[in-house]
Amino acid sequence: MKFGVPFGQDKTTGEWKDVAEVERGLACGCICPSCGLRLSARHGDEREWHFSHHTRNIPKEEIVDCEYSFEVSLRMMALQLLSDGAGLTVPEYQIQVTIPLTLQHRFKPEVKCAKQMLLTANDAKLTVDADFMGHKVDVLYEFPEAFLIVYFVYQGRSFPIDKNLLRQMGAGAILLDLGVLSHHFYRDPLAEGGVLGTARAQLLGWLNTGTIAKCWKYHPREDGRLAEKHRLFDEALKEQKLADSLLSEDVGFGKRTVAAAEQSTKGSHIDPRKLVRCTCVCGKTFTGIKGMANACPICCTHLYVTHKRYIPSGFGG
């Protein structure tokens, strides 16, 4: 679906105008931000107000297919709003991780790198249409110890910076997807107060409070947080391996103790009345000594063991 152009550029001042702020028709005095053709402001009753290209009396060879005029107009107006002091809400950033099966009861399957927050021009030095290491970026926030790049993407316009460069420079990057936003812009209430407002109000509300169509490309903390998560996994696996080893030794010791006790009964010098047949709730049966805490060789505890009188073979009744 092709969307109407919500913003045009005033051909006299160069400022970006909401279609609701200008006069109807060619009197709007605006041009397309993408192809430069004159725009006509449509203030109709059947669909959202929008700009359309005025192509009457223009030779066909001079008319270009202005496929991304909607996205370009949103991007340019957003940059103007941010330059004028609009805030930008950045979304929470969580990375999903794979947890070893034996540790899934102990760890959550995500690493949290950043919380949702509102950025303003007071939080950092803000530059619109900035240069970053030889790359043009839409917005650059400069913090004392880090950079944050904001970049608008849509079909035909992708993020130009490799993640390794971001990592090297300690820079985070957030992508604002105007292709995704286009499906909500004219339909869902984005303006302040949760209402469906003018194009400017919709865009300003999305910048200030919205989280849809915004995603992190990279955060300077993510490598450290991921490394720490995997370190905790490794420690937990080592602890688990040690516990399993100790349990195995305890079980082996219990089995050897029971075997020695049963072996010692093979002679007439043991009073058979001191022997009992022990049964644990786990199902294990073994020979024990009356009046003693006979631990199950499997469970390594005497708490769930019951006793019955037992006379080994070789003893008289």
User: What's the confidence (pLDDT) of residue 231?
Assistant: 94
Where are the chain's structural domains? 7-68, 75-227, 230-309
Per DSSP, 98 falls in state: P
User: What's the confidence (pLDDT) of residue 288?
Assistant: 82
User: What's the confidence (pLDDT) of residue 268?
Assistant: 43
The set of residues, in sequence order, having a beta carbon less than 8 Å from that of 296 and lying 6+ positions away, is 254, 278, 280, 282, 284, 286, 302, 304, 305
Give per-residue burial for 10-42: e unless 16+ CB within 10 Å, then b.
Answer: eeeeeebbbbebbeeeeebbbbbbbbebbbbbb
User: What's the confidence (pLDDT) of residue 270?
Assistant: 53
Low-confidence ranges of the chain (pLDDT < 70): 1-2, 46, 55-68, 246-272, 304, 310-317
The gap between the terminal CA atoms of the chain, to the nearest Å, is: 96
Does this model's pTM top 0.85? My answer is: no
Which phi and psi (to 5°) does residue 284 adopt? -75, 135
User: What's the confidence (pLDDT) of residue 164?
Assistant: 95
The set of residues, in sequence order, having a beta carbon less than 8 Å from that of 157 and lying 6+ positions away, is 68, 71
User: What's the confidence (pLDDT) of residue 299?
Assistant: 77
CB 43 within 8 A of CB 64: no
Distance (Å) of CA 33 to CA 86, 190, 279: 21, 23, 85
pLDDT per position as a tens digit, 218-246: 999 999 999 999 999 999 888 888 877 76
User: What's the confidence (pLDDT) of residue 317?
Assistant: 45
